[in-house]
Amino acid sequence: MQIVSAASAYPQHYYPQEQLLEALQEYWGDQITNPHVLRRLHRHVGVDGRYLSLPKEEYPKMKTWGEFNDQWIRTAQELGEKAVSSALNEAGLNPRNLHAFFFTSVTGISSPSIDALLINRLGMCRNVRRVPIFGLGCVAGAAGISRAADYVRAYPGQVAVVLSVELCSLTLQRQDISMANLISSGLFGDGSAAVIVAGSDCGLSGPAILATRSVFYPQTEEMMGWNVSEKGFRIVLSKEIPNLVRENLARDVDDFLAERGLTRPDIGSWVLHTGGPKILEATADALGLKNGELDVSWECLRRTGNLSSASVLIVLEEVMKNRRPAPGTLGLLAAMGPGFCSEFVLLKW
């Protein structure tokens, strides 16, 4: 099993963080009684700028969840088509070569799901297997690769695509001035990424998927996710997540590697979800990664913010295109998300 290619796609509207802060201060108006708090939060999220699905001045004009979700459907199709087309081009494939389509998002809903709409737009085979995934949030990019690997392990002559589209700006709640929403308003951005995963009989090259592991943490479902109401998605984001990372991540990574006779020093490449500064710092502390191993994750966070499930795929794309490890290097792709849970993918470059 190989990861053959990874490609991203973004909306055309990009704003420096300072402009977004000014727009949010105006958006919330007198609801924010201490604007210095919002400014301080935005300055500590490690983000220089983000892409938005709409021009920033259009957001105050949107009044209902339905309006935001309609925009999500339109933009998700546009970005999804671009990301999948780019990933296929890089792999030397066309849409009819795809046998399975794994689509993930947690920032909007559609039925038929976006994968079905893209089958029409891209002209995929009528027999392509569809697996839309909702609710996994930030972990879903890594989980999508794992599920695609399961598929091509069963069908080694076939090719699967994993597509993530996350349009976090379309979930922003105007009436919610909780600390979680204020932090999210400075951290999360919009974007898409697609990854092509091929079976071992396809004759395609790329980092090999050696093994995968899912880990669920019982009684942690209140740590991250959405409270869904008639107004849309309201963010749930616990301040205890960094502690959960510090308490569990090293043990679970070590157990996963030990089953294959490996330890952390055997890993020469780390492809980790961007999370946010506190999550990346907790990850570095837990795994003892203090020598630049997470530089790519930090750089992707700085450029585009946290793109939820697409984030780890963006990091993967950067590593594959610009920082590819030497052949034979072992790598670990990993993310964490609502549930609360972890997903690990062991790679060999």
**Domains of the chain by start residue, with CATH:** 2-198 (3.40.47.10), 208-348 (3.40.47.10)
Contact at 8 Å (CB) between 208 and 347? yes
Rounded Cα–Cα distance for residues 173 and 229 (Å): 11
Q: Which residue has the tokens 């802060």?
A: 21
- Angular region, 113: left φ>0, alpha ψ -120 to 50, beta rest: beta
> How far from 111 is each of 115, 136, 232, 287, 301, CA to CA, in Å?
10, 18, 17, 40, 31
More confident residue, 228 or 148: 148
Q: Would you name the residues annotated as active-site residues?
A: 138
Q: Is the pLDDT of residue 33 over 80?
A: no
Q: Is the pLDDT of residue 30 over 80?
A: no
Confidence of residue 236 (pLDDT cuts 50, 70, 90): confident
Confidence of residue 258 (pLDDT cuts 50, 70, 90): very high
Q: What are the residue ranges of helices labelled H in the chain?
A: 17-28, 35-43, 65-91, 114-122, 140-154, 179-187, 241-258, 277-287, 295-304, 311-322
Task: Give the model's pLDDT for residue 149.
Answer: 98
Rounded to two decimals, the pTM is: 0.94
3-state secondary structure of 43: helix
Confidence of residue 37 (pLDDT cuts 50, 70, 90): confident
Kindly report, residue by residue over 51-74, the tens digit of the pLDDT: 999 999 999 998 899 999 999 999
Kindly report, residue by residue over 75-128, the tens digit of the pLDDT: 999 999 999 999 999 999 999 999 999 999 999 999 999 999 999 999 999 999
Kindly report, residue by residue over 300-314, the tens digit of the pLDDT: 999 999 999 999 999
Rounded Cα–Cα distance for residues 239 and 25 (Å): 23
Beta bridge partners of 192: 9, 165
Beta bridge partners of 214: 343
Task: Give the model's pLDDT for residue 41.
Answer: 83
3-state secondary structure of 168: helix
Q: Which residue has the tokens 């708090």?
A: 37
